[in-house]
């Protein structure tokens, strides 16, 4: 056999190995997918309008890109997926309307979402009642744990974020927290305040809450300033609200001598873009770092082919969004469009993903034990430790 023929032979062998491997990953040993040759609709609920729209739009872009890849990979005769996108507006009430439209009109049995905790908490009672599976890439409120059988989240829990923020801020004598009235933020605040009870030397001098989507924080900020805190936790939702809160704080030139802390909303560069060097040294507790070469490569492909950036979504939630769509599509191919069987697989199975090893072990949250500590240095959030 000449050299050219030898190369061709090994290319064919390699292709056969890949095809067989993919075949058994998707179908198992049973031979074929129960939904082969069919088109299966999957629902999506996330904030496609409102203050957190940038997050939802980047999730939509990531899901659309990956589904197109999966449909191409499955080829002629394989199962095809169609995602129906609905706007949950980061609201429990709006997510319920989206859920009802997806299930009653579109016939969806599996939903990616909600993205916001309020969306997921709003839909969960209906999901359990109707046996509709919810897999969220980003919902993090601790109330999700134990709330229902058919809801899962690939996010880390706000309980971990709140605990680690309290740990970092426990070295200060007087602390203040400013929180948006939103399920995600309230979850962090409640855990944070409860954990601080273990540090008797710390006094919470201000615990202020503002309405969801507020835009003017000057009175609240002045009220907090007068308490003289050594450390301040800014705890808004992602998007415009976070930007406005930080900008208006930066405008208070006479307020100095405090350490600034934040969560996911300030890990994103756009949230700090308008304040220049004001956010230098800010400490952010958020997701563990996720930046594998494989993830960075698909992020580049998404931005190139779909346009825009993934700056608001960030590495972790891009990874978890990809993992969510990969899990759902592969389990539908394996089990058919059967939420009960998919629920059993998610609850007891072990999977590999961009966020790492994925295991729920009978819980609603994926079993993650790490969070990341970041510090703003030269305008960028730089990972310090994982804890």
Position 377 pLDDT exceeds 90 = yes
Residue 372: the pLDDT is: 87
Mean pLDDT of 258-270: 93
Q: Which CATH class is domain 28-156+291-359?
A: alpha beta
158-286 shares the fold of 28-156+291-359: yes
Residue 368: the pLDDT is: 78
> What does the domain layout of the chain look like in residue ranges?
28-156+291-359, 158-286
Q: Report the distance separating Cα 119 and Cα 176, nearest Å.
A: 28
Of 380 and 32, the structure prediction assigns the larger pLDDT to 380
Q: Report the distance separating Cα 358 and Cα 351, nearest Å.
A: 5
Mean pLDDT of 91-97: 97
Could you tell me the pTM of the whole model? 0.83
Residue 387: the pLDDT is: 61
Highest average pLDDT, of 103-112, 149-158, 266-275, comes from 103-112
Q: What is the average pLDDT score of the chain?
A: 90
Where residue 77 falls (left for φ over 0; alpha for ψ -120 to 50; beta otherwise) is left
**228 — pLDDT class (breaks 50, 70, 90):** very high
Q: Report the distance separating Cα 71 and Cα 73, nearest Å.
A: 5
Q: Report the distance separating Cα 328 and Cα 135, nearest Å.
A: 8
Q: Report the distance separating Cα 87 and Cα 56, nearest Å.
A: 9
Q: Report the distance separating Cα 273 and Cα 271, nearest Å.
A: 6
What are the tokens at 222? 């002045």
**369 — pLDDT class (breaks 50, 70, 90):** low
Q: Within its chain, how far is the Cα of 52 from the centroid?
A: 12
Condensed to tens digits (0 to 9), the pLDDT of residues 293-338 reads 999 999 999 999 999 999 888 899 999 999 999 999 999 999 999 9
Position 99 pLDDT exceeds 50 = yes
Condensed to tens digits (0 to 9), the pLDDT of residues 106-135 reads 999 999 999 999 999 999 999 999 999 999
**Contact by Cβ (8 Å): 42, 331:** no
CATH fold label, 158-286: Rossmann fold (3.40.50)
């Amino acid at each position: 056999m000449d050299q050219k023929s030898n190369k061709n032979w090994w290319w064919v062998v390699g292709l056969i190995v890949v095809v067989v491997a993919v075949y058994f990953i998707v179908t198992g040993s049973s031979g074929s997918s129960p939904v082969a040759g069919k088109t299966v609709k999957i629902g999506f609920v996330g904030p496609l309008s409102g203050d957190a729209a940038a997050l939802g739009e980047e999730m939509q872009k990531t899901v659309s890109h990956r589904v197109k890849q999966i449909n191409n990979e499955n080829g002629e005769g394989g199962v095809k997926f169609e995602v129906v996108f609905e706007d949950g507006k980061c609201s429990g009430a709006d997510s319920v309307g989206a859920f009802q439209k997806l299930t009653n009109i579109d016939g969806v049995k599996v939903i990616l979402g909600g993205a916001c905790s309020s969306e997921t908490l709003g839909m969960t009672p209906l999901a359990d009642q109707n046996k509709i599976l919810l897999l969220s890439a980003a919902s993090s409120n601790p109330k999700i744990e134990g709330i229902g059988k058919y809801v899962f989240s690939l996010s880390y829990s706000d309980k971990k974020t709140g605990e680690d923020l309290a740990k970092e801020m426990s070295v200060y004598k007087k602390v203040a927290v400013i929180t948006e009235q939103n399920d995600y933020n309230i979850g962090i605040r409640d855990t944070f305040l409860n954990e601080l009870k273990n540090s008797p030397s710390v006094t919470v001098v201000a615990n202020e809450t503002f309405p969801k989507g507020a835009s003017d924080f000057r009175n609240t900020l002045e009220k907090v300033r007068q308490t003289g805190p050594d450390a301040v936790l800014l705890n808004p939702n992602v998007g415009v609200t976070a930007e406005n809160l930080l900008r208006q704080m930066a405008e208070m030139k006479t307020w100095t001598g405090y350490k600034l802390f934040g969560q996911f909303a300030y890990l994103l560069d756009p949230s700090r873009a308008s304040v220049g060097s004001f956010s230098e040294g800010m400490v952010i507790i958020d997701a563990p770092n996720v930046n594998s070469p494989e993830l960075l490569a698909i992020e580049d492909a998404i931005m190139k082919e779909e346009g825009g950036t993934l700056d608001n979504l960030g590495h972790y939630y891009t990874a978890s969004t990809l993992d969510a769509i990969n899990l759902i599509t592969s389990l539908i191919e394996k089990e058919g469009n059967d939420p009960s069987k998919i629920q059993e697989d998610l609850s007891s199975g072990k999977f590999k993903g961009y966020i790492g090893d994925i295991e729920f072990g009978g819980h609603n949250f994926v079993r993650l034990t790490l969070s990341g500590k970041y510090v703003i240095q030269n305008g960028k959030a730089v990972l310090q430790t994982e804890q």
